[in-house]
Structure 1
Amino acid sequence: MRSISGTIRTPWAVTTFTGLLAGAMALSLTACGGGDNDKSSGDSSASATTGTVTLPKLNGQSIEVAAVWTGAEQTNFKKVLAEFEKRTGAKVTFVPAQDPIINFLGSKIAGGQPPDVAMLPQPGAIKQAVDKGWAKPVGAEAEAQLKKNYSQGWQDIGKVDGKQYGVYYKAANKSLVWYNAKVFENAGAKEPKTWQELLTTAQAVYDSGVTPFSVGGADGWTLTDWFENVYLSQAGPEKYDQLAQHKIKWTDPSVKQALTTLAQIWGKKGYVAGGADGALQTEYPASVTQVFTGGDQPKAGMVYEGDFAQVNIGETKAKVGSDAKVFAFPSVGSTAPVVSGGDAAVVLKDSKAAQALVTFLASPDAATIQAKLGGYLSPNKNVPTSAYPNEVQRTIAKSLIASGDDFRFDMSDQAPQAFGGTPGKGEWKDLQDFLKNPTDVAGTQAKLEKDAAAAYGSGS
């Protein structure tokens, strides 16, 4: 059975971690450095053996790494690259990319200046890079690290036609709702476990004088994440897999049910900060920070997004675990959803230095450095949970590793990028239109199906 992404071939069960989050809000988000004890001698020996992975000496060699990461996420990743430089003697340059990264890479390749390694945020993008002849398989050293440190499921989503092209350096749990603790306290609101309880909680927040939800609608991917959580819980894993592979149409009754459910929040007057127009002008980072600025009178009381929201919360004065708390996305059907995402390192220029970098990124050494800095989650099972800087993050990391292969990958990331990963097009645009007019369920379904059929048919 071939999936649209070309990487996911087996149906995986969904798991929850609601219980694991209980009582995990005790500590604040603090940043601390990594790699302090790793000293590279800088001599001319054949390899550098500091840490758990052996790396070649690469004095005088230079490589470029492209990613769409910005802000603290980019800053922290550069610290990982600096450690690679220290151990190998290579020079690594970070190249800021724009979404969709496949288009960015296409322009770089057409100009004869491709980066050596790219961090691709979708399995579908890895498949496209392979189909276009851009991506190169990872070497034996990186494969050995993957087999040692990753579950089979995380290895498989980096494969195309049985060959390993992607090293998933970063993971995400995209089934979390973060909230302003003081707002909930003032409203007498409780952490919900079901969708109905979420609506009750939202009404309590609204009645206290605070808008319940912040939505980063200017970034269409946040809206696909909302949909995926509702759909996975309500329709179930089997339907989720079918829709992800376009084996059922977006005009299916299950999609109508999920959109109708979403409209209970998106279409409720006063429930979304700034209304639909305001949300569509709010980019993701601001959707998080505006929940945790303004004391107990912020622009909104809660925001849905993944564990990586901690990076943005850290830009405010709020402390994770006291001022900023989190609960698992409530169950809409019989089981609460867990949707995962991630970013994979893919080699575009098959050099010794590029292969050494992806080998390093597949090791616990690299991930442990960034784990200590906060706002990051690794699928690497040999990263010690003690590396994560707060109890919330440690709990999320434990749940990810404990799930093994039992997870569902972000649906839009499995789709051809023209449908699931391009600003102003496909699913992103169609759900932005739906946020603006949540009464038009049938029209939204028709647009989603038209765009999906075109993208899946062309594979672009």
Structure 2
Amino acid sequence: MRTTLRTRKAVGVGRGAVSLVAVGALALSGCGGGGGAPDEQSGSDGAAKPTVELPELDGQKVSVAAVWGGAERKVFLRVLDEFERRTGAEVSFVPAQDPIIGFLESKVAGGEPPDVAMLPQVGAIEQAVANKWAKPVGTEAQKELEKNYSDGWRELGAVGGEQYGVYFKAANKSLVWYNAAVMKNAGGQEPKTWDEFLQTARMIYDSGIAPVSVGGAEAWTLTDWFENVYLSQAGPEKYDQLAKHEIKWTDPSVKKALTTLGELFGKKDLIAGGPQGALGTEFPESVKQTFVGGDQPKAGMVFEGDMVSLAIAETDAKVGTDAKVFPFPAVGGGESPAVVGGDAAVALKDSKGAQALLTYLASPDAAAIWAKAGGFVSPNKNLDVAAYPNDVQRDIAKALIAAGDDIRFDMSDQAPQAFGGTPGKGEWKALQDFLKNPKDVAGTQRVLEDAAAKAYKAQKD
């Protein structure tokens, strides 16, 4: 495979997200890190025995744009390698930058759009359709979607009743991972509520370790913090209203959620490096500083999704033994939330290669390759869970599939990208400023509302 060898510092990890409000707290901590090898009929790279027939594309060029970098890009390239092997196509990976819609706009204007783009937001799919860039899913890909995906996941990739997106990658983003040795030394236990979480953090601090690692340099992690607190505390109805901007960001429910989040962000000794250090920490590093150093790391816990396991794999820690996980704690008497990220493949060219790639990505064949590597959950209900590398990830995958159609997309990813998905602007900038000064709840609310009002108005216009 021919790939462009530029690197991207900010690793985009599953910006699109859905909340599984019907799924109870996952019993993850008791899961071992051991095996469960892929199906005996799997190929050398974890690809299951082919379940879908792909066309011959000898010599045809297919380009794929995505914001993935680091370990995620490496694994996705293996997925594309298998597509090359089976079709004879020549596939190139095009590194994209956030916001990907802006990146694609420049490519389209230059007459060089990629064949397929991996879009991390519902709003991005809708915008690609509105701009007349996106091409509808073809017959063969549609068959795979109907066979392998629930109605809810198909609807997330549809605009105006027509299918455009194939959701290939999901990620449960309501998980708190912890260094098992640090937790044991502190005498702590897995918390089930926000108050218990803060108590556990204090116990870890008293043992001599900074309790929580925050990757604040990549502000999507901060939107995830807010959304988990808000969904649990305010409930699904309010969540839906705020996501659609039917209530303002100056609403008392937002004040309450920011105040709650400030109970963590406002305690400098609870955050590794303090707020300023967190703002200089990128997501992969936030994971590594929790698990490098044995029982004396820089932090004891890190919040984020199952993609954390990819960063853990670059350390000596083992998932299920050294690195364990519990569901995001319930806040204010609400349910424990579950937010899941996702990326959809959308064709930007009317080409045989683009449609063949969508068909492949909608099959269990492609999903099995990344599942074996870890840090990935597939919404494909026909993927054998034995493909996942350990019991922790198998349980996460089972919970995702069990949720069926009861899904909600991540709040920031339902918003116009100018508000919910652009570095240095909108919600991302407001929450980074809030991390710096979590006492300014009212000011943060005003900034959020001003930015949201402008973005939603521009979207309507």
Structure 2-normalised TM-score? 0.92
Within 1, Cα distance between the matches of 2:20 and 2:321? 33
Within 2, Cα distance between the matches of 1:33 and 1:80? 19
Match of 1:341 in 2: 341
2:437 matched to 1:437? yes
2:225 matched to 1:218? no
Within 1, Cα distance between the matches of 2:303 and 2:19? 24
Cα-to-partner distance string for 1:184-232 (whole Å, 9 max, x where unaligned): 0110010000111101101100111111110010101000000000000
Within 1, Cα distance between the matches of 2:283 and 2:37? 22
Contact 2:33 2:318 in 1 (8 A): no
- Residue identity matched to 1:198: F
Match of 1:25 among 13, 32, 41: 32
Within 1, Cα distance between the matches of 2:50 and 2:236? 40
Within 2, Cα distance between the matches of 1:436 and 1:30? 45
Contact 1:15 1:338 in 2 (8 A): no
2:116 matched to 1:117? yes
Contact 2:36 2:387 in 1 (8 A): no
Match of 1:452 in 2: 452
Moved more, 78-87 or 185-194: 78-87
- Residue identity matched to 1:415: A
Contact 1:341 1:410 in 2 (8 A): yes
Written as runs of structure 1 = structure 2, the 5 A alignment for 1:239-318 is 239-318=238-317
Match of 1:86 in 2: 85
Task: Note the residue ranges of structure 2 that are not aligned, 5 or more in a row.
Answer: 1-15
Q: CA deviation at 1:149?
A: 0.4
- Residue identity matched to 1:105: L
Contact 1:34 1:370 in 2 (8 A): no
Within 1, Cα distance between the matches of 2:354 and 2:371? 22
Contact 1:217 1:279 in 2 (8 A): yes
2:426 matched to 1:419? no
Q: CA deviation at 1:51?
A: 1.2
Match of 2:143 in 1: 144
Match of 2:96 in 1: 97
Contact 1:149 1:380 in 2 (8 A): yes
Moved more, 71-80 or 247-256: 71-80
Q: CA deviation at 1:36?
A: 1.9
Cα-to-partner distance string for 1:56-86 (whole Å, 9 max, x where unaligned): 1111211100001111211111111111111
Within 1, Cα distance between the matches of 2:24 and 2:288? 25
2:113 matched to 1:106? no
Task: Note the residue ranges of structure 1 that are not aligned, 5 or more in a row.
Answer: 1-6, 41-49
- Residue identity matched to 1:23: G
Q: CA RMSD in A?
A: 2.3
Structure 1's 195 and 81: CA in aligned 2 closer, same or farther, altered over 3 A? same
- Residue identity matched to 1:278: G
Contact 1:51 1:365 in 2 (8 A): yes
Q: CA deviation at 1:408?
A: 2.6
Within 1, Cα distance between the matches of 2:311 and 2:36? 11
Q: CA deviation at 1:277?
A: 0.8
Match of 1:163 in 2: 162
Match of 1:377 in 2: 377
Structure 1-normalised TM-score? 0.93
Within 1, Cα distance between the matches of 2:313 and 2:209? 22
Match of 1:207 in 2: 206
- Residue identity matched to 1:24: C
Within 2, Cα distance between the matches of 1:157 and 1:236? 21
2:230 matched to 1:231? yes
Contact 1:170 1:379 in 2 (8 A): yes
Contact 1:35 1:83 in 2 (8 A): no
Structure 1's 35 and 347: CA in aligned 2 closer, same or farther, altered over 3 A? farther
Q: CA deviation at 1:114?
A: 0.8
Q: Give the number of aligned pairs.
A: 444
